[in-house]
Structure 1
Amino acid sequence: MHDTADLIAETYALGAGPWTLAPVTRGALGQIWKLSGDGEESGAGSRSSWAVKELLFGCDEDQVRREAALREASERLGIASPRLMPNREGAYVSYLDADSGASSDSSSGPGSGSSPSAGSHIKLYDWIHGTPADVSDPEVLDWFGRTMALLHRAGEGERELPSSWYERCPGDDEWAALHAEVRRAGMPWADELGRFIATSARELASWVTPSDPADLVTSHLDLQPQNVLVGPDGPVLLDWDNAGSASAERELARALFAWSGGNEGDVEAGVRVARAYRSAGGRAVVQGPRSFSMLFATALNYVRVQAECAIDPAVTAAQREFGSGQVVAAMGWVPELGVVSRLSAAVGQVW
C-alpha cells in the first residue's frame, strides 16, 4: 500500500522518495502540508520540498483554471508567486481516491488526520522559503502597491459579474434564522452573535451594493499581508485560490484596510500603498466608505459561513470546532466604520 506522501509524489512525477508530509497551517477552505523528499532529479526538477493544499470543502475546477490563468498572466508582468503544478495528466487538481491505496487517518474526514485524507482534492505548489511580510517596512508597502496595480492590469477585460460573496451579505431575515439555529444548538457565543447582528452587521450591511460592471477585473481577491512571504529574491504572493472577478476599486479599498493594520488604523501605511499603486498605473480610486463594500460583505459573510459550519452535523467535529472558534474571532475583526472613514479620507488625498 502506498503511503499518502509517496502517492502524491507519484501523482506529480516528483521522483523517488522517501517522501514525508507535515501539517503547516489550516485556513478557512484548506489545509497546507509540506511534502519533503530527498531532492533527486525528476520531471518536476530537483526541488525537495513542495506545498500541498488539501481542499476541505470540495473543488471547483473552473476556479482552479482561473487561478492558473491569472497567476501565469501576472508572472509575465513580473509578479512572483509559487507555481501551481500540473499532475502527470496535466490537471492542476488531483483527487486522492479512496481506492488508490492512500493511507491516512481519515476517520474524521478531510483536514483532521495526520495527512491528506482519501477522498480529498489536492493542489501542489512550489514550497516558498521566506519570512512573513513586515507591514511596517516601506519597501514592502511600495512593492505591494505596485503589485496590485500590475494585477489589475493583468486582469483587465473581465466581463463576468463577481460572486455574491463579494456583492451581498445576509439580510435581517437570514440573520434571524441563523441566530435561532445557533441558539437551538446551544452555542456559547449565541448571545454575542445576537448583539453583533443588531449592531455591526446592520450598520455595515447598509454600505453593501452591487459593483459597477465597468470597473471589473480578474484579480487575486485575497490580498492580505499573511499571503506574502519575503524570500531571498524578494516578496512572493501566495494563495491564489480565490482568483476571479472583482471591482478594482473595491479590491483596492479592501487591501488598503488590510495593509494599514485593519482596525488598528495605521493610515500612513495605507497612504503609502495607495501612492505606490497610483505611481505604477493602477486605475482604481477610493471614493469614501462606499468603496469598501467588498470588505464589509466578505467580513459579514465570513461570520455567517463559519457560524453555519459550527452547527452543521454533516461536517467533521474538527471542522465544527474550527468554525466555532472562527465565529468568535471574526466578530472581533469586522471593520469599524469610523476606522474605514478615516482611512478613506486619508487615501483620498492621493488622487
Structure 2
Amino acid sequence: MDLSFLGVPVAPMVRVHGGAANRMFRLDTEQGSFAVKELNVVDRREAYRVEDVFRLERAAFAAGIPMPEPIAADSQILVHRWVEGEKVPEAPVSAAYAFEIGEILARLHALDVDWPQEPVEPLTPRDWPELAERAMATGQPWADDLADRVETFLAIADFVDDCRLPGPMVLTHKDIQPWNLLAREGRPVLLDWELSGMSDLSGELGSTALGLAKGPGFDDIEPAIFGSVLEGYVAGGGVLPRPGPSWFVFMIGGWLGHTRWNILRCLAGVEAGSGPELAQSQLSAGAGVRGLPDMFGRLAEFQTLLV
C-alpha cells in the first residue's frame, strides 16, 4: 500500500514489537500518528476477510464503539489512527471496566452489518502424536511436555468438534482479551479486529469474561469480574444464552489452533517473512502446551462462574 496519502513523515516509521500474529509499525506524519499493521500473508491459519472486516470496523466506529479510527486496508496492510492509552495487564480488570466491556459487546452485536456466509469449518486437526515426535526429534524446549499430554490434546480436539452450541450466532470482534485492549482515562479501547466474524454468543461472552477476570494462569479468577461483563451485556440490551460448556469452547478451540500454528512455525526452525518472530512463536507454543491442558481440566470449575 502506498502510504503517501497519510502525509509527509516527520520521523522514520518505527516497529512496535510484541504482536503474536502480525507486525506493527507507528508512522508519524504532518497529518497525525498512525498504526500501520503488516499482515502475515505467509502462513495465516485462515484467509483474512479484508473488505468485510473493514466494513464492520467502519460501522462500529461510526456507532461510537471505542476503538482506533479505521483509515485504510488492503490484502497486506491495515492503517488505523494511532490511539494513546495504557496497556491492559493480564490480570483481573476493575468491575467498572468489565461492565463497560459487556455494554460494548451488546452494542456491537446489535449493529446491522452485512456479512457473507462463512464456510463450514473443517474438523480440528488430530496430528498431535506426529507433532510430539517431530518436537522430540528437533529438540524443542517444550517437547517433553507435549509428549506427556498428547492424549489430552486429542481429547481437547474432540471436545472442540463435539460441543453443542446453543446460539444465536452474532457478528463480533472474537478476540477481546487484555492484549487487544487499551485503557484510556480508565475506559476501554478495542484493538485488533482482524479475527472478527460470526461466533456463537456463549463462546464470545465466555472467552471475554474469563479473559478479563483472570491473571496469566487460572488460579486467580475473580468471579465478580466475570459477572460484571455479563451484567454489562444485559444492561446494554443483550440477552444471555443458557449456561454450559459452550461458553468456553471458543476460547479453548482458538488457543488450540494458535498453539498448533506456532508449533509448526517452531518445527520449521526458520524466521518466516512475516508474522511473529521465531522467539515469540516459541513462547506461544510453550504457553499453549502447558496451559491448554490446565484450562481443559478446569471446565467444570469454569461453569460454576455461570451460576
TM > 0.5? yes
Moved more, 25-34 or 329-338: 329-338
Structure 1 residue identity aligned to 2:306: V
Task: Tell me which of 63, 71, 86 is aligned to 1:85.
Answer: 71
Provide the TM-score with structure 2 as the length reference: 0.84
Distance (whole Å) between structure 2 residues aligned to residue 11 and residue 160 of structure 1: 32
Q: CA deviation at 1:130?
A: 0.7
Partners in 2 of 1:31 and 1:190 — Cα distance?
27
Equivalent residue, structure 1, for 2:213: 260
Number of the residue aligned with 1:343: 302
1:227-238 superposed matches below 5 A? 227-232=180-185, 234-238=187-191
Q: Which residue of 2 aligns with 1:308?
A: 264
Q: Does 1:204 align with 2:156?
A: yes
Return the alpha-carbon distance in structure 1 between the equivalents of residues 285 and 245 of structure 2: 24
1:226 to 1:185, Cα distance in 2 relative to 1, 3 A? same
How far is the alpha carbon of 1:153 from its aligned partner? 1.6
Residue 251 (str. 1) matches residue 211 (str. 2): no
Question: How far 1:233 sits from its partner (Å)?
Answer: 8.9
Structure 2 CA distance for aligned equivalents of residues 282 and 122 of structure 1: 34
Which of 90, 110, 114 is the matching residue for 1:153? Answer: 110
After TM superposition, give the deviation of residue 284 of structure 1 in Å: 3.8
Across the two proteins, how many residue pairs are aligned to each other?
Answer: 296
Q: In 2, distance between residues paired with 1:218 and 1:206? A: 25
Structure 1 portions without partners, runs of 5+: 1-7, 41-45, 87-91, 95-120
Tell me which residue corresponds to 1:57.
41
* Residues 1:132 and 2:87 are matched in the alignment: yes
- Per the alignment, residue 282 of structure 2 pairs with 324
Following superposition of structure 1 onto structure 2, how do residues 1-351 of structure 1 map, counting pairs within 5 Å?
11-37=3-29, 40=30, 46-47=31-32, 49-58=33-42, 63-86=49-72, 92-93=73-74, 121-133=76-88, 135-154=92-111, 160-161=117-118, 164=121, 168-171=123-126, 174-199=127-152, 201-208=153-160, 209=162, 212=165, 215-232=168-185, 234-261=187-214, 263=218, 264-312=220-268, 315-316=271-272, 319-334=277-292, 336-337=295-296, 339-348=298-307
Measured in 1, the distance between the counterparts of 2:248 and 2:113 equals 20
Structure 2: which 5+ runs fail to align? none
User: For the residues of structure 1 that align with 2:134 and 2:212, how far apart are their CA atoms?
Assistant: 35
Q: Is the 8 A contact 1:309 1:323 kept in 2?
A: yes
Deviations 1:187-215 (A, max 9, x none): 2321111122233x244334323665952
* C-alpha distance in structure 1 between counterparts of 2:4 and 2:120, whole Å: 31
What are the superposed Cα offsets for residues 177-196 of structure 1, whole Å, 9 maximum, x if unpaired? 22222223232321111122
Structure with higher Rg: it is 1
Quick one: higher RCO (CA 8 Å, sep 6+), 1 or 2? Answer: 2
